[in-house]
Amino acid sequence: MKEGKVQCHILAWTNIAVLLLLILVGCKQAPQLPANQLPPDDENAKLITLDKAIVSTEESQMVQYMHQHQLKMQKDALGFWIIILQKGKGTFPKNNNIITYQYSISLLDGTHCSSNYNTTRTSTLQIGHTKTIRGIELGLMKLKPGGQALILLPSILGYSVSGDRHSIPPYSPLVVYLKLIDIKT
């Protein structure tokens, strides 16, 4: 009888040990992320993959456009391509300057979208406070008064995911001619 009691106690302690081991293994804590970092999820990973694919596709479209039109453009660190067609005189625009300019926007396939280039109409913007597309402002900052340039803008610097809801579809790289007319400080 005593031997049966001992075996019963051993069996009970074994069951308790196994139960504790299962509890400890089941309570393994997931790695902690800093408070300012979102946990990765499938949706974010898919969006990042999609963004990379869009950037890659647009880049190859712009390179193909340059090849077809025999353009030797320089790629700016911000992701757009530029060729100076006419050098201007004076200084480059700076933050808060108000500039007067003309532009012409078309799609890579040649579809004309909007323009006031080589007309009597002009546009103005204040550097750093503009509501125009970011790529136009960045391109104008590369010109001095009287300067003209051709720039190729990836959609992220153009109308991005929404397009202009008229003639520019979402995710469309743009061909933009710019002429900087005047800078006011």
Is 96 inside any structural domain? yes
Is 58 inside any structural domain? no
| pLDDT digit string, tens, across residues 97-109 | 999 999 999 999 9
Reported as type and span, the H/E element at residue 124 is: strand 123-126
Is 111 inside any structural domain? yes
Which CATH number does the domain housing residue 104 bear?
A: 3.10.50.40
Is 148 inside any structural domain? yes
Is the pLDDT score of 37 beyond 70? no
Compute φ and ψ for 109, nearest 5 degrees. -80, 0
Dist CA 60 CA 53 (whole Å): 11
Higher pLDDT among residues 47 and 131, named by residue: 131
The whole-model pTM stands at 0.73
Dist CA 131 CA 46 (whole Å): 30
Q: What is the pLDDT of residue 17?
A: 63
Dist CA 175 CA 16 (whole Å): 74
Is 47 inside any structural domain? no
Is 20 inside any structural domain? no
Is 41 inside any structural domain? no
Is 125 inside any structural domain? yes
pLDDT averaged over the chain?
A: 86
Q: What is the pLDDT of residue 177?
A: 98
Number of structural domains the chain divides into: 1
For 65, 147, 182, the CA distances from 91, given in Å and listed in that order, are 31, 11, 10
Range of the domain at 126: 74-184
